[in-house]
Amino acid sequence: MIQRILLGEKDIKVTLERLACQLVENHGDFKNTVLIGIQPRGTIVADRIKAILSESYGLSDVELGYLDITFFRDDFRRREDPIEANKTMIDFLVEGKNVVFIDDVLFSGRTVRAALTAIQSFGRPENVELLVLVDRRFSRSLPIQPDYSGRKVDAYLEEKVVLKWREYDDIDGVYFELKND
């Protein structure tokens, strides 16, 4: 297996700081804006963004929720193994709010499609935006594009973009992986 590094620990830090800064430019004091991390791994990006907003911009009470989209997927009964669900934790309504979806990698766009349906269970948002750390452009199956993207990546379909996080893997990093067989 060939593996090469795309973003190291420091790159990720700088990228997330830039993304947080862009959010502040558009959302100011976050009075009417909520962050929604998409399970499973968008939640880590969302946690980090929230921490930066609090430390660098003094925005300590930005509302953050986690949304699981398992039951809204469009590939139920088309996979060999069903996917196990994760926790949804949204203890506020999004009615009339600006919602920022946060995910780690944007690939086909199907997760975001499901998230757009799933979020409706918590009200009708005024606005929905999408923030991703890695945007695998040219691999979209649906007309969905990010509003904020950390790094645009052109990868072969057979290539995997793998994200590692301190919370799970002891290290932060974004890697390309290609099976050579």
Partner 1 sequence: MSQLSVDHLLGIKGLKREDIELIFSTADHFKEVINRPIKKVPSLRDLTIANLFFENSTRTRLSFEIAEKRLSADVVNFSASSSSVSKGETLIDTVKNILSMKVDMVVMRHPNPGAGVFLSKHIDARIVNAGDGSHEHPTQALLDTYSIREKLGNVEGKKVVIVGDILHSRVAISNIYALNLLGAEVMVCGPSTLLPKYIHTLGVKVETDLRKALEWADVANMLRVQHERQDLKYFPSIREYTQMYGVNMEMLNSLDKDVVIMHPGPINRGVEITSEVADSDKSIILNQVENGVAIRMAVLYLLASKIKR
Binding site for partner 1 (CB under 8 A): 68, 70-72, 76-78, 81-88, 93, 117-118, 120-123
CB 125 within 8 A of CB 96: yes
Q: How far is the CB of 73 from partner 1 (least distance, A)?
A: 8
User: How far apart are the C-alpha atoms of 39 and 36, rounded to whole Å?
Assistant: 9
Query: Of the two residues 52 and 94, which places its CB atom closer to partner 1 in the complex?
Result: 94
Q: How far is the CB of 114 from partner 1 (least distance, A)?
A: 9
User: How far apart are the C-alpha atoms of 133 and 152, rounded to whole Å?
Assistant: 9
Find, among 131, 122, 123, the residue nearest to 101 by Cα.
Answer: 131
Query: Of the two residues 114 and 153, which places its CB atom closer to partner 1 in the complex?
Result: 114
Q: How far is the CB of 98 from partner 1 (least distance, A)?
A: 19
Q: How far is the CB of 179 from partner 1 (least distance, A)?
A: 24
User: How far apart are the C-alpha atoms of 91 and 86, rounded to whole Å?
Assistant: 16
Say whether 70 sits in a helix, a strand or coil.
helix
